[in-house]
Amino acid sequence: MGILDQFFISPETASKGDYTIATYLVEVPPATDINVFAAALAVEQTTGTWVQVPEETAEIRKKYCGKVVSVLEVPAYEFELPKGVESRSFVLQVAYPEVNFGSQIPMLLSTVIGNISMCGRLKLLDLKFSDYFMKGFKGPKFGVEGVRKILGVQGRPLLNNMIKPCTGYTPEVGAKLFYQAALGGVDIIKDDELIADPPFCPMAKRVELYMKAEEKVFRETGEHTLFTVNVTNNATEAIRNAKNAVKMGVNAVMLNFLTAGYSVLQSLADDPEINVPILAHLDFAGVLYESHYSGLSSHLVLGKLARLAGADIVVYPSPYGKFNFFREKHMLIANALTCEFGSIKRSFPMPGGGINNGNVHSVVEDLGIDCIIGCGGAIHGHPMGPTLGAKAMRQVIDAAVKGVPYAKMADSSPEVKAAYDLWGDTKGRQVKLFDLK
Amino acid sequence: MGILDQFFISPETASKGDYTIATYLVEVPPATDINVFAAALAVEQTTGTWVQVPEETAEIRKKYCGKVVSVLEVPAYEFELPKGVESRSFVLQVAYPEVNFGSQIPMLLSTVIGNISMCGRLKLLDLKFSDYFMKGFKGPKFGVEGVRKILGVQGRPLLNNMIKPCTGYTPEVGAKLFYQAALGGVDIIKDDELIADPPFCPMAKRVELYMKAEEKVFRETGEHTLFTVNVTNNATEAIRNAKNAVKMGVNAVMLNFLTAGYSVLQSLADDPEINVPILAHLDFAGVLYESHYSGLSSHLVLGKLARLAGADIVVYPSPYGKFNFFREKHMLIANALTCEFGSIKRSFPMPGGGINNGNVHSVVEDLGIDCIIGCGGAIHGHPMGPTLGAKAMRQVIDAAVKGVPYAKMADSSPEVKAAYDLWGDTKGRQVKLFDLK
């Protein structure tokens, strides 16, 4: 038996077992024996520590120890290291026995990126789960089909509006903006992530006034609007907030799921009393994914794990708005939210941040109809007001679905033309952020 | 009035108001107008978005908008930028009105490092709170004094042991190791962060058997041992686990607080039913602090915020063990956990990860007596067994407090000598991690 045997497992065997396979990018000094490094990582994150202890028996290591699946050098050198190379990079795969952590995200993260998150240049690129692990998750209660069913909207992307300004206004002002935007055809109105329950705009009062506005709009237009009230707080309070809001008649909730924790998102999703769609907001995500050398990849943070935890709608950075974000990453997140994934429902991808009418065609070309156009300022900052601002967005969405160019649409609609003249055709481009004014 | 006036506030005025002052390190292209950048950041994280909207009135901006406190170039250039400079670095301070987010950590983080976490090179270095904000937090229920009172131990660092191996054993094996370590004089025995409630070692059974072992040891030695059972899971389950464990008689709990979320930690700490000390475990911390260009500094992640959320004991990377960690950072974390901080109790600092007898003097020199020596493998991997392994650690702790050198102590105690001969005097040094064996 070779000395690697007890620490390594073949990809074929790993795929058949109850293992979560984690893929890492690591950068190590040239002299590092990468096989020892990989084995140390697998042992450290399961049974072992810096010294072997008597009760870490061969039997325990066999059943509960992580195993190295693959060690891939990127780029690869032939025979010997070129002079001047100060580090080598590898893609490593490690299979972790899922029986160790069970079907829950906090213990999963503690295992796959827990203490090793502090051991130098190591980034978690991907996770692959077994059926055994997946079976423990319910995922989104509603998902794409469920949200569409509530709204009665098929065949086009949904339109989401964030009330703007983000914070500082009263529930009365908010309700006015809600009414105006919903009247123009917005499907979902979300709180900004920066407002939860401040004394100048209490959550309960928002629910009361906004849902009254929702009813009024429904009577006038026959179209429903979801209000995702931001319930973010400590775990106990967030869960209580959500239950209270549902009792008060809110038809959706939102959570800043990365500052509150995946654990709170899943508790909301798993709670039968909270029988409304959940929107998961991206803020804080950069803390987890932004570094090239540490943390997790963005399609895990905002894609796979958000969906697994039960988000019906996930807001993530649009490559066309105010964030610097690669289009490829946006596509990978959307794919993780909507691909085949056991029996877990699809989550709605909602790329956002500085989206205006000029970006809609780009999003629809990328994602098709099963996405949500997230748009705050372009509705509330529209020169003809929020109602016509929302109408303009709905018209541009329809144009994008039908393949009518934005410029052409602007010719036939004064409200679209007003947006076109103000912000231009920003297709595929980013918006300018800010001027002192 | 200058154009900066509405976006800037003096440090003197900011310190007197109900503001949280966030300090950032940012790196920007040389052509960036840093004043515009700083103002955009302050606006983006409070009232504003990429376009000004009608309801973002001057009144709203005055009361609810973030204000730039200081813009400091590091390093500073005189008059003009040297050729070849590809970026400039600044320390920025922004004052956020606390009325926007209230006294809770998730909304605080959404505000100070939410969407801007995704806007390029920006790291949150520090946070300073007002009395108004602090008043909303209870902090640790027990803290340093409370934990000492329960244990009846004064005048020396406490000794914590992690059961090793980390996972894969039965409750019976765990209880045996618990008994042996506690008999040797360990004050606190914690679960490893990699074990919570696996089928082969259920949480409830561990509580039952370990607390029986605790009673037995107390009858034999007159010394109590805290068992911090790892309750990590989704929010609802973690809270329920903690309540159940307390009902079953456990005398402490632990949480992987960064994978479960600060929000869950605080919910445990605030819950009157969970009337036992809480140990907060560091795993996942590197995801938040490891990058130089993004995320948060380690003394926020593992220091100030952990204490604010109510951790009685915080485990963080020791510079002397298996983590690569600057001694300065270890000192800053410990300081954040124990400095004057309103009426919030002190949390116990517990540097850990590969600590053996040879590192104890370093920790005691750094932190004095109000710290916890966290030691897993050096007890369970001690050549004379866990009981004498624990005794050896207690003797070395006493030696460190009295100023007796480790080598001298080894001469007068066979169990200390056994550790000394095996691992050497590693004072101030790191341990070697792993061999394929």
User: Given this model, what pLDDT does residue A399 score?
Assistant: 97
Contact: A431, B50; criterion CB under 8 Å? yes
SS3 content of chain A, % helix, strand, coil (to 5): 45, 15, 40
pLDDT band at B2 (very low <50, low <70, confident <90, very high): confident
Nearest CA in chain A to B376: A49
Residues 183-222 of B with CB under 8 A from A: 193-200
- Asked if the Cβ–Cβ distance from B55 to A177 is below 8 Å, we say yes
Name the active-site residue from A141, A164, A190, A299: A164
Q: Do A107 and B256 touch (CB under 8 A)?
A: yes
What would the pLDDT profile of A41-77 be if each residue is shown by its tens digit?
999 888 876 677 777 788 888 889 999 999 999 987 7
**B280 or B44, greater pLDDT:** B280
pLDDT at position B429 over 80: no
Q: Please, where in chain A does CATH 3.20.20.110 lie?
A: 143-423
CA–centroid distance for B114 within its chain: 21
Global ipTM? 0.93
Q: State in words which class domain A5-134 has.
A: alpha beta
pLDDT for B166 equals 85
Hunting for tokens 């098709």 — which residue is that?
A: A368
Highest averaged pLDDT of the listed ranges A38-52, B78-92, B298-312, B323-337 = B298-312
Alpha-carbon gap: A230 to the closest alpha carbon of chain B (Å): 10
Q: For residue A324, give how far its alpha carbon lies from the nearest alpha carbon of chain B (Å).
A: 6
- What is the reported pLDDT for A52? 74
**Which among B36, B55, B381 is the nearest to A53, CB-wise?**
B381
The size of the A-B interface in CB pairs under 8 A is 396
Q: How far is A121 from chain B (nearest CA, A)?
A: 9
Q: Would an 8 Å CB–CB cutoff place A103 in contact with chain B?
A: no
Helices B105-113 and B262-270 pack at an angle, to 10 degrees, of 150
Q: What are the CA-CA distances from residue B31 to residues B34, B36, B80 (Å)? A: 9, 11, 12
A-chain residues near B300 (CB < 8 A): none
Assess contact for A414 and A346: CB atoms under 8 A.
Answer: no
Residue A132, chain B, CB below 8 Å: the answer is: no
pLDDT of A104 reads 97
Q: Name residues of chain A where pLDDT drops below 50.
A: 437
pLDDT value for A1:
60
Tell me if A47 and B166 make a contact (CB, 8 A cut-off).
Answer: yes
CA distance to partner chain A, nearest, from residue B152 (Å): 30
Q: Given this model, what pLDDT does residue B173 score?
A: 95
Averaged pLDDT, B163-167:
87
Q: Determine, for residues B3 and A436 on separate chains, whether the beta-carbon distance falls below 8 Å.
A: yes
* B226-230 vs B252-255, strand pairing mode: parallel
Provide the whole-model pTM. 0.94
The distance of B75 to chain A (nearest Cα, Å) reads 23
Distance between CA atoms of residues A43 and A27, nearest Å: 19
What is the C-alpha separation between B417 and B408, in angstroms, rounded?
10
Shortest alpha-carbon distance between residue A156 and chain B (Å): 26
Q: B44 and chain A: CB distance < 8 Å anywhere?
A: yes
Residue B106 has its nearest CB partner, among A168, A198, A256, at: A256
Q: Residue B122 carries which DSSP code?
A: E
Q: What is the reported pLDDT for B30?
A: 87
pLDDT value, residue B435: 54
Question: Are residues B411 and B422 in contact, defined by beta-carbon separation less than 8 angstroms?
Answer: no
Residue B164 confidence (pLDDT) above 90: no
Q: Each residue of B200-211: pLDDT tens digit?
A: 999 999 999 999
Residue B78 has pLDDT above 60, yes or no: yes
For residue range B362-391, what is the model confidence (pLDDT) as tens digits? 999 999 999 999 998 899 999 999 999 999
The answer to whether A324 faces chain B, any CB pair under 8 Å, is yes
Identify all chain B residues contacting A387, using CB atoms and an 8 Å cutoff: none
Residue B24 reports pLDDT greater than 80 = yes
Query: Considering only CA atoms, which of B304, B396, B405, B411 is closest in space to residue B347?
Result: B304
For residue B409, is pLDDT > 70? yes
Q: Does B120 touch chain A (CB under 8 A)?
A: yes
Question: pLDDT for A158-201, tens place per residue?
Answer: 999 998 888 899 999 999 999 999 999 999 999 999 999 999 99
* Residue A51 to residue B106, Cβ atoms within 8 A: no
Determine, for residues A263 and B266 on separate chains, whether the beta-carbon distance falls below 8 Å.
no
CB distance from A431 to chain B under 8 Å? yes
- Long-range contacts, B336-341 (Cβ 8 Å, 24+): B336/B299, B336/B300, B336/B303, B336/B304, B336/B307, B337/B303, B337/B306, B337/B307, B338/B144, B338/B370, B341/B134, B341/B139, B341/B304, B341/B307
Close Cβ partners of A168 (under 8 Å, ≥ 6 residues apart): A200, B46, B47, B56, B60, B61, B63, B64, B65, B100
- Answer whether A181 touches B (CB < 8 Å): no
Over A125-175, what HEC string results?
A: EEEECCHHHHCCCCCCCCHHHHHHHHHCCCCCCEEEEECCCCCCCCHHHHH
Burial class (CB in 10 A: 0-12, 13-18, 19+), B421: exposed
**Mean pLDDT within B149-178:** 95
CB contact under 8 A, A50 and B377: yes
Check A237 against B40: CB less than 8 A apart: no
Of A100, A167, A262, the CB nearest to B167: A100
The answer to whether the Cβ–Cβ distance between B436 and A4 falls below 8 Å is yes
**Closest residue in A to B174 (Cα–Cα):** A55
User: Which part of chain B has CATH 3.30.70.150?
Assistant: 5-134
CB B250 within 8 A of CB B272: no
Active-site annotation of B, residues: 164, 281
CATH number of B143-423: 3.20.20.110
Flag if A294 and B287 touch (Cβ within 8 Å).
Answer: yes
